[in-house]
Amino acid sequence: MSIHYDLPLRNALEEGILSLIPNTELNGHKTQRLANTTNVTFHGIESEALLILLDQEGICASSGSACLADSDEPSHVIRAMKQEADSSMQSVRFSLGKVTIQDEVQKICSVLLDKVYALRS
């Protein structure tokens, strides 16, 4: 069974992140993937530092794949896709749910812009 209810929100989240925040990169295929999940590399920022700041704002995200949710290890999937060693330590995964709304996507983009700028300063 496919999940398509989140596709427009996932796309809006990706477009917001990639257009607002320089030095970001989508991980994975543009269309052949889950409709409710995105993974982005924030070049020059350790994902754990960004995740702490996002958590303080009530935004839940992860630095690993779902199968490594309880691990501090970088995603083996990102390591396999990316040649750069640092990419797996600079990637953040966002998962959207049935109750996610457009306002929340806009908040995530706004908070990310602020926190990424602070970490890169």
Residues near 101 by beta carbon (within 8 Å), at least 6 away in sequence: 9
What pLDDT score does 46 carry?
A: 95
Q: How does pLDDT run across 2-49, given as a tens digit for each residue?
A: 556 689 999 999 999 999 999 999 998 888 989 999 999 999 999 999
**Domains of the chain in sequence order:** 7-120 (3.90.1150.10)
Taking CA atoms, 32 is separated from 7, 9, 108, in Å, by 12, 16, 24
Better pLDDT: 104 or 63 = 104
- Within 10 angstroms of residue 83's Cβ, the number of other Cβ atoms is 7
d(CA 110, CA 60): 15
Q: Enter the DSSP assignment of 43.
A: T
Task: Confirm whether 60 is a catalytic residue.
Answer: no
From the candidates 3, 20, 66, 67, which is the catalytic residue?
67
Does the global pTM surpass 0.85? no
